[in-house]
């Protein structure tokens, strides 16, 4: 491990840089808010949805490299968000932010970044950086943008070197809600915007470990009255709300760390044998832990909107949207827990279910917005399990 930055030639007009924990330097031009940010540097291959990506709470603690060159072309607006305050630390772009050209654009992306105090680095060879991440794994890095051009590479290097990394880090507590609330907003439609669920058939409690809004919208659109509770809620807190089903949300950080308080809660919920439980992303990983499996950090993770996943029961392949850096180890799952989906990129686990029980989860994001809609049927599967429970209780 180096103890200083590697030799580098500063290009003309450069006023910002990314410095990795091994001393590598990527020069560029700053955008957004001047300042510094440190985190894990990852990449996302999606060609749409940069605003949704930047506001996805699962990106807490990370600096996002966008591989698509035209970021900013649809501008930003107040609707295409997954949380009010972005959790990502910053972003890296291959070119200057594109001027918006879309009828829904309300703000330039640069102005939007500044409004949240997010710094960005543009003009970087993102192909080179992506290959670095692909081959060496997601590194720690510090992004520094000095409007006056006074870029302190050594200070950025120390930030990157000293940052502890995501492994062992519980970030769900930083992005969860602070109090119980209700949710009735449904999915977006052209000419209408978001709708409202006014006649829900079921009550779902969503445990918020960093929930994306569109997951909650999909639940509401499926006919659910949604009560959102904090990630630190106990099983008693959840059951006191008398739910027809429980949803375990996505979120950031190491599932084993969040699992210190979440896994005991999930295990207690599963003592109610007829209670439907559905998990996505971090919720999937913690369900895997609660069922006796293990999780581990991946080499570089899955982040993009074109990931093929095979449903092992049907043989069908779904194109999915994904964002995760940890995974459930399939060979650690005990008897009675079935692996239901696998990644066709690397064979990693993408889903599981508990035999004979209404409990299942997936690693990917069936609510993707924008993104492939191949997996929206999973919300219907969850509702069908709730319908069956309600029907059984009426007999």
Q: What is the mean pLDDT of residues 125-137?
A: 97
Q: What is the mean pLDDT of residues 290-295?
A: 98
- For tokens 């445990």, what's the residue? 207
Among the listed residues 21, 324, 341, 365, the single catalytic one is: 365
Candidates 128, 114, 165, 160; CA nearest to 18 is 160
Q: What is the mean pLDDT of residues 141-146?
A: 98
Residue 371 has pLDDT above 90, yes or no: no
| pLDDT computed for residue 391 by the predictor | 85
Residue 198 has pLDDT above 80, yes or no: yes
HEC assignment per residue over 237-286: HHHCCCCCEEEECCCCCCHHHHHHHHHHHHHHHCCCCCCCEEEECHHHHH
Instruction: Give the model's confidence band at 2: pLDDT under 50 very low, under 70 low, under 90 confident, else very high.
Output: confident
Tokens for 294? 């293990």
Domains delineated in the chain: 16-162 (3.50.30.20), 172-394 (3.40.50.880)
Examine the residue annotation and report whether 367 is marked as an active-site residue of this protein.
Answer: yes
Residue 336 has pLDDT above 90, yes or no: yes
Residues 5-48 have pLDDT tens digits of 999 999 999 999 999 999 999 999 999 999 999 999 999 999 99
| pLDDT computed for residue 167 by the predictor | 97
Candidates 277, 222, 219, 282; CA nearest to 253 is 282
Query: In whole numbers, what is the pLDDT of the chain averaged over residues?
Result: 97
Q: What ranges in the chain are assigned the alpha helix state H?
A: 50-54, 109-115, 126-136, 153-162, 172-175, 213-221, 235-239, 255-269, 282-290, 377-394
**Residues above pLDDT 70, as percent of the chain:** 100
Tokens for 150? 């006074």
48 touches 59 (CB < 8 A): no
Among the listed residues 40, 82, 197, 367, the single catalytic one is: 367
Residue 201 has pLDDT above 70, yes or no: yes
Candidates 203, 259, 269; CA nearest to 234 is 269
Examine the residue annotation and report whether 365 is marked as an active-site residue of this protein.
Answer: yes
Residues 132-141 have pLDDT tens digits of 999 999 999 9
| pLDDT computed for residue 1 by the predictor | 63
Examine the residue annotation and report whether 154 is marked as an active-site residue of this protein.
Answer: no
d(CA 322, CA 305): 6
Q: What is the mean pLDDT of residues 188-211?
A: 96
| pLDDT computed for residue 393 by the predictor | 81
Among the listed residues 281, 284, 324, 350, the single catalytic one is: 281
């Amino acid at each position: 491990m180096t103890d200083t930055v590697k030799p580098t030639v500063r290009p003309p007009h450069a006023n910002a840089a990314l410095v990795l924990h091994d001393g590598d330097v990527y020069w560029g031009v700053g955008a957004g808010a001047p300042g510094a940010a440190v985190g894990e540097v990852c990449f996302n291959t999606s060609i749409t949805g940069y605003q949704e990506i930047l506001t996805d709470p699962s990106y807490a603690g990370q600096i996002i490299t966008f591989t698509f060159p035209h970021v900013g072309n649809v501008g930003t607006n107040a609707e295409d968000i997954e949380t009010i305050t972005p959790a990502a630390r910053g972003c890296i772009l291959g070119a200057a932010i594109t001027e918006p050209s879309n009828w829904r654009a309300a703000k330039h992306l640069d102005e939007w970044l500044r409004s949240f105090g997010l710094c960005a680095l543009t003009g970087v060879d993102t192909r080179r950086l992506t290959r670095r991440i692909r081959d060496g794994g997601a590194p720690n890095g510090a992004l520094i943008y000095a409007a006056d051009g006074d870029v302190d590479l050594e200070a950025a290097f120390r930030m990157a070197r000293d940052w502890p990394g995501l492994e062992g880090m519980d970030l769900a507590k930083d992005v969860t809600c602070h109090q119980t609330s209700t949710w009735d907003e449904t999915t977006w439609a052209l000419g209408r915007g978001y709708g409202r669920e006014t006649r829900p058939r079921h009550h779902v409690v969503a445990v918020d470990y960093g929930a994306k809004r569109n997951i909650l919208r999909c639940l509401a659109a499926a006919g659910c009255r949604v009560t959102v509770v904090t990630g630190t809620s106990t099983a008693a807190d959840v059951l006191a709300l008398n739910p027809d089903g429980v949803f375990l949300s996505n979120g950031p950080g190491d599932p084993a760390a969040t699992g210190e308080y979440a896994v005991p809660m999930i295990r207690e919920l599963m003592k109610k044998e007829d209670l439907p439980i559905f998990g996505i992303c971090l919720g999937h990983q913690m369900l895997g832990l609660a069922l006796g499996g293990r999780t581990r950090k991946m080499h570089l993770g899955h982040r993009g909107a074109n990931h093929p996943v095979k449903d092992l029961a049907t043989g069908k392949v779904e194109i999915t949207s994904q964002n995760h850096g940890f995974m459930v180890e399939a060979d650690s799952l005990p008897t009675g827990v079935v692996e239901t989906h696998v990644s066709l990129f690397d064979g990693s686990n993408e889903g599981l279910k508990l035999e004979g029980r209404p409990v299942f989860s997936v690693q990917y994001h069936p609510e993707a917005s924008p993104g492939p809609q191949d997996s929206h049927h999973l919300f219907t599967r969850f509702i069908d399990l709730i319908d069956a429970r309600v029907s059984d209780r009426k007999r």
